[in-house]
C-alpha cells in the first residue's frame, strides 16, 4: 500500500486492519511458544503502528526491507504469506519458507544491527544498477549503539545511498533503558553527523509513521540521500518469551504507555462497525495461521547438512557421515 501524503478514511481502515492482524497473530505466537510449538518468540505488541506504517510505504516493485526478528507487522503489511513467515520461528529450516526475493522482505536477522549493514549493501547495488529502488533497514534503539550501525550510516552518507534507517525506539535495549545507552538521547540527531536527514516521529501514530517513511523513501529514490527515522514507541511486552520485564521496569510505566496503545488509538478514529469487522478478520487470520503452522511437516533430517556452506567442509562431511551411521544402526 502506498498513498500520497495525507490519507483518506479507506487508507486508515486498511492500516488499522493490518495492525490488528499483527496484534492478534503476535498474541497467538506467544501462546504457541508457551505451548511448546515455537522454541522462542520475540513479541512486537505495541509496535504495530511503527512497523505497519513504515512497511506500507514501500514500493514492492523496486524497494526492499531488511527486518530483525521482531518485524511481524512489516511482514503483514507487505503481504508475506504468514504461515511461511511464522515458520521461521519453528527453527527447523534454513531460514523461513517465504521467498525473500519475491516478497521484498529479507530473511530474519538475529544479529543486533545486522539488517542495517545488509540494507546498505543492497542500496549500493541498487544505486550502481540504477534500479530506482530504496532499502528500508529496521533496528532498535539498543542496536543503534552497535559499531556496525555507525559505520553503515557513515558509508551511506558518503555515497548518498538510497536507504532509510528506521529505528523503533521502544525505550529498552532488553533491560537497559534508552536514556542510559544513547548519548544525547536521540538516535535521529545522530544523522546530522553523517550529513543525512534525521527525523523523529510518533511511532504510535500509524499515519504519521507512514507519511514520514513515504517521504524519506521518495527522497532516497530520487537521489536525495539516506535518512534516519526514529519512531518513538514502546515495547508493551517482554523482549522475548524468556524475558521478565517486571524485573527492570515499573507497573506505572507500563500502565502509562498502555494508554498510548497504537491499536486503541487508531480505533478511536474509526466507526465501530469498521473496528468490529477488522477484529473478526484479524482473529480468523491468526487462528488459521496457527492451525496451518501446527500442521507443517518437519523437513527431512538430511537437510540439516544442506546449504550450510557452498562447498561442504571436512568437518561437516564427517558429521554427516556420523549421522548417517547413527540412522542405519
Query: Which positions are catalytic?
Result: 235, 239, 248
Cell numbers given for 242: 524468556
- Are the CB atoms for 52 and 19 separated by under 8 Å? yes
CB-CB contact of 24 with 286 (8 Å): yes
Residue 47 to residue 239: CA distance in whole angstroms:
12
Nearest in space to 198 (alpha carbons), one of 158, 229, 165, 168: 229
What is the rounded distance in angstroms from the CA atom of residue 307 to the CA atom of residue 311? 9
Helix or strand run (H / E) with residue 65:
strand 64-66
Helix (H) or strand (E) holding 66: strand 64-66
Helices marked H in 44-159: 48-55, 72-77, 82-86, 100-103, 114-129, 147-159
- For residue 115, what are the β-bridge partners? none
* SS3 state of residue 178: helix
Query: Which backbone phi and psi does 219 adopt, to 5 degrees?
Result: -65, -40
Strands annotated E in 124-236? 135-140, 163-169, 172-173, 176-177, 197-202, 227-232
Amino acid at each position: 500500500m502506498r498513498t500520497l501524503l495525507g490519507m483518506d478514511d479507506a487508507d486508515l481502515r486498511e492500516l488499522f486492519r493490518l495492525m490488528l492482524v499483527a496484534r492478534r497473530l503476535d498474541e497467538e505466537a506467544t501462546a504457541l511458544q508457551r505451548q511448546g510449538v515455537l522454541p522462542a518468540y520475540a513479541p512486537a505488541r505495541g509496535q504495530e503502528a511503527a512497523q505497519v506504517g513504515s512497511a506500507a510505504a514501500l514500493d514492492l516493485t523496486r524497494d526492499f526491507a531488511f527486518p530483525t526478528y521482531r518485524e511481524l507487522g512489516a511482514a503483514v503489511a507487505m503481504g508475506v504469506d504468514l504461515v511461511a513467515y511464522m515458520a521461521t520461528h519453528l527453527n527447523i529450516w534454513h531460514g523461513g519458507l517465504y521467498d525473500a526475493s519475491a516478497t521484498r522482505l529479507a530473511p530474519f536477522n538475529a544479529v543486533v544491527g545486522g539488517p542495517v549493514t545488509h540494507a546498505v549493501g543492497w542500496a549500493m547495488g541498487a544505486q550502481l544498477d540504477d534500479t530506482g529502488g530504496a532499502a528500508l533497514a529496521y533496528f532498535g534503539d539498543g542496536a543503534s549503539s552497535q559499531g556496525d550501525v555507525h559505520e553503515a550510516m557513515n558509508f551511506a552518507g558518503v555515497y548518498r545511498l538510497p536507504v532509510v534507517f528506521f529505528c523503533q525506539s521502544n525505550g529498552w535495549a532488553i533491560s537497559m533503558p534508552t536514556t542510559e545507552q544513547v548519548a544525547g538521547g536521540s538516535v535521529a540527531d545522530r544523522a546530522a553527523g553523517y550529513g543525512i536527514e534525521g527525523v523523529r516521529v510518533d511511532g504510535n501514530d500509524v499515519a504519521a509513521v507512514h507519511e514520514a517513511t513515504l517521504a524519506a523513501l521518495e527522497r532516497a529514490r530520487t537521489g536525495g540521500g539516506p535518512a534516519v527515522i526514529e519512531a518513538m514507541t514502546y515495547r508493551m511486552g517482554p523482549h522475548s518469551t524468556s524475558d521478565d520485564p517486571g524485573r527492570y521496569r515499573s507497573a506505572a510505566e507500563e500502565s502509562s504507555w498502555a494508554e498510548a496503545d497504537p491499536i486503541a488509538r487508531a480505533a478511536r478514529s474509526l466507526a465501530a462497525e469498521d473496528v468490529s469487522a477488522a477484529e473478526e478478520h484479524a482473529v480468523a487470520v491468526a487462528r488459521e495461521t496457527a492451525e496451518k503452522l501446527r500442521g507443517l511437516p518437519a523437513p527431512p533430517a538430511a537437510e540439516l547438512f544442506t546449504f550450510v556452506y557452498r562447498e561442504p567442509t571436512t568437518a561437516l562431511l564427517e558429521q554427516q557421515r556420523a549421522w548417517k551411521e547413527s540412522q542405519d544402526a
